[in-house]
Chain A
Amino acid sequence: MSFREGWVWWIAIPLLIAMLIWHLLRPRTARQVVPSLLLWQQLRHEQTSTRPWHPPAPWWLLLLRLLIVVLLAGAAADPTVAAFATPPHRIIIIDTTASMRTREPAGSRIVQARQLANQIIATSPPASTFSLLTIDREVTVWANQLSDRNYLASLIDAVEPHAVAGDITVLIPWLTTLRGRASEVFLLSDDQQLTSATWPADWHLIAIGGPVTNQSIQGCTFAAGPTGWQGVVRIEADGAPLTTPRMVELRDAQNRLYDATRVLPRADAPVEWRVQLNDPPPLLHVRLMPDSRDALVSDDDCWWQKLTPTPLRVAAYPRADRFLAAALRVLPNVEVTNQVKTADVVVQTDSTTPLSVTLPLWQLDAPSSTPAVRLPVFLPGLLHGDEAVLDRDIALANSQVLTATLVTPPPWAQTWLKSSAGVHAYAGRNNGMATVVFGFALTNSDLPLRPDFPLLVRNILTYLAPPRLQSSYQTGDAVVVALPPMPLPMLYAQPVGGQARIIPRTTDVVLVDVTEVGAYRINDTWVVANLLAPAESRVNRVTNPTSISATPWLLPAGIALGQWLLVLSVLGLCGERWATWRGGRVT
């Protein structure tokens, strides 16, 4: 425990000593002239001695007075838990789900939320610090314990709702980790589940807009059929069933309309829309057009090209390509399978068409009928931009290929491998879809035998399906701290507030206790532990937080310790006055 106003004790301690001396010294008695001592002398009262000091009588009265001074000094010193003073801290959480785009007569809901957030900041005490968070399917920390209000206003203006249907339920466990902290939480949301949940009494739940009903497309599957591409779009209402139909559209990346229909989403049974396309674009976007009375729907799941799930499932073809399969297995976070499913990354090393796969992201065969070139001598590649990741840590120029065909790079591609005869491999993004094309089969080369072959596969997979998850830790995991050359004691901030000290040793690995739920900070590194829900693992710390600071020592009932001390001292003072009056003492 510490005190914000510690100088008070410099006054209180001399006062206590003075009070003690005052009681030990014999006070000069007052003179009172009375008509006669006739009766007083009959009382045979024990006369006081002539010594210059005397024990305080009664002793408990002196003790009570000293205690009152201590209590008053303690109350004035403002006891705190930690060592540093802190202004009040307010956490503003803005719902950025798609429903916040709903337009209302007072403006869109996100605009209302921004206005409320700015109003909260404007009406806060001058020394307040703020944390700004947004929640949809993820939690993003825009600002943590900042006091620059202009910067906070710019951050609030930059908050935009995402085109996703909010899955707020997974965020409730994350928000509960904030409970118990000495911060004031303002939650601006239009989600009924949040507003109807039981939150601490000191949380401010500000409901924006009326009842919210999200509609989302739960899934869409497309398959190449005999006569073209067939797709099934499943549409489901998250909330109450809708009373009016909604328009569903299919658009490409350039927002060109391919098809449209009207559906009536229901909460219990999804609506399926079967689509038949003869020449679909590589990417097709399924959009559920909102009504003016509805929140905007999610379109995250409506790209018919699914994003790579985790772990990355890779299907290697042909099955006999054991070199490729072995190389894929050694890669982290990759699962090799023979079953082709939608959204799998298909590694195809020959011209055999694997079953009815939708479209391989990684096309290794060369769709060319030009004569093959035997033993081509590769020249160093000239990849740049996003494609430069393909050449990272490897050197394909000295690899040996038995036969290779020539390929013609389209305008959207960059040349990767070429020889004097022509181009043998290229890479690029075809309408946003990453594509790599080899003019030779891996089994006809020595690449699988090279030590950097796993790196080649890693680079290609990273280029085709970049990892989306950030590193995270589970409860009890050991966090390795990189030590400077001259280790010094370090402080790390704990989720519950306060700091812990690390005393590193040069020869040992230092392990940090991360058993507490929440986010830790070691130097400038944030570590999130005990991730109960997937959303928690995607906590992005945008700004550097300020130091962990002290909070008032709150006792039960939410009353600070200083206020309790003040009340006790007043009660003690009343008791002392009563005892003094009862005993007829004036000293």
Chain B
Amino acid sequence: MVQLLSGGEIAWLTRRQLPWQGISPRGVSAERNARQGGQRNEPELLRPYQMGDDVRRVDWAATQRLQHAMVRQPLPQSQGRLRIVLDTSPSMRLDAAKWHHALRLVAALGVVATSHGDSVQLCSDDVSPPSQHTNGWLSLCAHVYVTASATQAFALPRQLPLTQLAVWCSDLWHADWATQLTQFALMAHTGSVIHLLSASEVTPPRYGDVTLVDSETAQHYTMTVDANIQSRYQQAFVAWQQAIANECRRLGLAYCCVTTQTDLATALHEVLL
């Protein structure tokens, strides 16, 4: 099995927090309500009494209301839901380093979430069930890293319930990237876009006389990539990246651009901010 993250990286990631973890207002009020014996709307806080349970954890009000001994289950500090959308289009798979870097980012975000009791859901070729365990999440990422389809065109999953936080890791090499950003913004209360690019996509080499082939549409384009074209490409790239950032800002999405030369800690810091 492919090991996307090392043990040291996992240990380091468990000390990181998602934006709502530790400082979530919902988590603080729930804990205060629990101490004051107030109403708890979350059914997962109660469960039937079982042998061996501490009697001090019996919720007597619920027991009286439900006529069954109910105990109060101590819950983790946070219990949010994270949805990660991974672009598996051929452009993401063209550069092995880029694909590996994307899976490492995805796996790292999931580790941060599961280590604090949050559930994480991966949407790649298929929509996986929410995972709350770190090991299971890493196995899922490794499985996707190997088995993801390299020829299938990417499409955002539709008709998914609204989630608390959604992260989209993509290179956005789609002609309808603006439309897809709009669709992604409707997935969660909070959305974040990781614009992952390889170094050659930022500064293409001087290919000379070359026939360029689109990795997704297989379209050909013959041209001479010299210093002039290279400079003009970089100007177009900056304009394109700026347009994506503006669109994200308009949709209320967080945007960060990460290249394959960016190390994991820096990239994760950019995402978590």
Q: Do A and B come from one complex?
A: yes
Identify the closest chain A residue to B95 (Cβ).
A35
B211 touches A29 (CB 8 A): yes
Select one of B210, B226, B227, B232 contacting A31, CB under 8 A. Answer: B210
The reply to whether the CB of A40 lies closer than 8 angstroms to some CB of chain B is yes
Contact of A355 with B by CB under 8 A: no
The answer to whether B209 and A41 touch across the interface, beta carbons within 8 angstroms, is: no
A46, closest chain B residue (CB): B223
Q: A34-B214, A35-B215 are in contact. Are A40 and B209 (CB under 8 A)?
A: no
Closest residue of A by beta carbon distance from B197: A35
Q: Which one of B91, B226, B233 lies within 8 Å of A39 (CB-CB)? A: B233
Residue in chain A with minimal CB distance to B213: A33
How far is the CB of B223 from the nearest CB of chain A, in Å? Answer: 4
| Partner among A34, A43, A586 whose Cβ is within 8 Å of the Cβ of B209 | A586
Contact of A34 among B206, B215, B230, B240 (CB under 8 A): B215
How many Å lie between the Cα of A587 and that of B208 in the bound state?
8
Mask for B7-29, Cβ within 8 A of A = 1, else 0?
Answer: 00000000000000000000000
The answer to whether B211 touches A582 (Cβ under 8 A) is no
B219 within 8 A of A: yes
Q: Which residues of B sit under 8 angstroms from A523, Cβ to Cβ?
A: none
Residues of A within 8 A of B95 (CB): 35
Mask of B227-244 contacts with A, CB within 8 angstroms, 1/0: 101101100110010000
Which of these, A40, A583, A585, A587, contacts B212 with CB under 8 Å?
A: A40
Do A584 and B212 have beta carbons less than 8 Å apart? no
A27 interface residue, CB < 8 Å from B? Answer: yes
Contact of A40 among B91, B171, B174, B221 (CB under 8 A): B221
Is the Cβ of A45 less than 8 Å from the Cβ of B215? Answer: no
Judging by beta carbons under 8 Å apart, are B213 and A31 in contact?
A: yes
Contact A30 B236 (CB under 8 A): no
Q: A39 touching B237 by the CB < 8 A rule?
A: yes
Known: A30-B211, A584-B226, A586-B208. A43 touches B201 (CB 8 A): no
Asked whether A201 is an interface residue with its Cβ less than 8 Å from the other chain, the reply is: no
Expressed in whole angstroms, the Cα–Cα distance for A42 and B229 within the complex equals 11
A-side contacts of B208, CB under 8 Å: 30, 584-587
Q: Does B94 contact A (CB under 8 A)?
A: yes
Interface flag for B222 (CB, 8 Å): yes
Q: Which residue of A lies closest to B90 (CB)?
A: A35
The answer to whether A583 touches B209, judged by C-beta atoms less than 8 angstroms apart, is no
Residues of A561-585 at the interface with B, using a CB-CB cut-off of 8 Å, are: 581-585
- Given A34-B214, A36-B215, A37-B212, verify A29-B222 contact (CB < 8 Å): yes
Cα of A45 to Cα of B224 in the assembled complex, Å: 8
Q: Is the CB of B223 within 8 A of A35?
A: no
* Complex contacts, A36 vs chain B, CB 8 Å: 91, 173-174, 214-216
A486 interface residue, CB < 8 Å from B?
no
CA distance A582 to B229 in the complex (A): 12
The reply to whether the CB of B175 lies closer than 8 angstroms to some CB of chain A is yes
B264 within 8 Å of A (CB atoms): no
| Bound Cα distance A470, B195 (Å) | 103
Q: Secondary structure at chain B's binding surface: helix, strand, loop or mixed?
A: mixed
Given A584-B226, A586-B208, A587-B208, A40:B233 Cβ within 8 A: yes
| Residue B148 lies at the interface, judged by CB distance under 8 Å to chain A | no
Residue B186 at the A interface, CB < 8 A?
no
Nearest B residue to A42 via CB reads B236
Query: Which residues on the A side are within 8 Å of B210 (C-beta)?
Result: 29-32
How many residues of chain A are within 8 Å of chain B by beta carbon? 26
* B225 is an interface residue with CB less than 8 A from chain A: yes
Tell me, yes or no, whether A480 is within 8 Å of chain B by CB: no
Do B207 and A39 have beta carbons less than 8 Å apart?
Answer: no
Task: Report how far A587 CA is from B213 CA in the complex, Å.
Answer: 20
**Residue pair A39, B222 in contact (C-beta under 8 Å):** no
Central interface residue in A32, A47, A582, A587, by most chain B CB within 10 Å: A32
State in angstroms the CA–CA spacing of A42 and B239 once bound together: 11
If the complex has contacts A36-B215, A38-B175, A40-B212, are A584 and B225 also in contact, measured as CB distance less than 8 A?
yes
Q: A43-B229, A584-B230 are in contact. Are A32 and B237 (CB under 8 A)?
A: no
Shortest distance in angstroms between B96's beta carbon and chain A's nearest beta carbon?
Answer: 13
Q: Once the chains bind, are B207 and A38 in contact (CB under 8 Å)?
A: no
A128 and B222 alpha carbons, distance in the complex (Å): 62
Please provide the chain B residues from 188 to 214 with a CB less than 8 Å away from any CB of chain A in the complex: 198, 201, 204, 206-214
Q: Quick one: which of A42, A47, A585 contacts B222, CB cutoff 8 A?
A: A47
State whether A584 touches B221 (Cβ < 8 A).
no
Q: Are A33 and B94 in contact (CB under 8 A)?
A: yes
Knowing A43-B236, A585-B226 touch, does A35 contact B94 (C-beta < 8 A)?
yes
Which of the residues B206, B217, B223 comes within 8 Å of A45, measured between beta carbons?
B223
Bitwise, A442-479 to B at CB < 8 A (1) or not (0) is: 00000000000000000000000000000000000000
How far, in angstroms, from A27 to B210 measured CA to CA in the complex? 10
Known contacts A35-B198, A584-B208; 19 further A-B pairs (Cβ under 8 A): A29-B210, A30-B207, A30-B209, A32-B213, A33-B94, A34-B201, A34-B213, A35-B94, A35-B173, A39-B240, A40-B223, A45-B223, A45-B224, A47-B221, A48-B209, A48-B224, A583-B227, A584-B224, A584-B226
A to B CB contacts below 8 Å, 21 in the list: A30-B207, A30-B208, A31-B210, A32-B211, A32-B213, A33-B94, A33-B213, A34-B201, A34-B212, A34-B213, A35-B198, A35-B201, A37-B212, A37-B217, A38-B240, A39-B237, A40-B221, A40-B233, A48-B222, A583-B227, A585-B226
The 10 closest A-B pairs by CB, nearest first: A584-B206, A35-B91, A36-B173, A584-B226, A586-B208, A37-B214, A45-B223, A29-B209, A39-B236, A33-B213
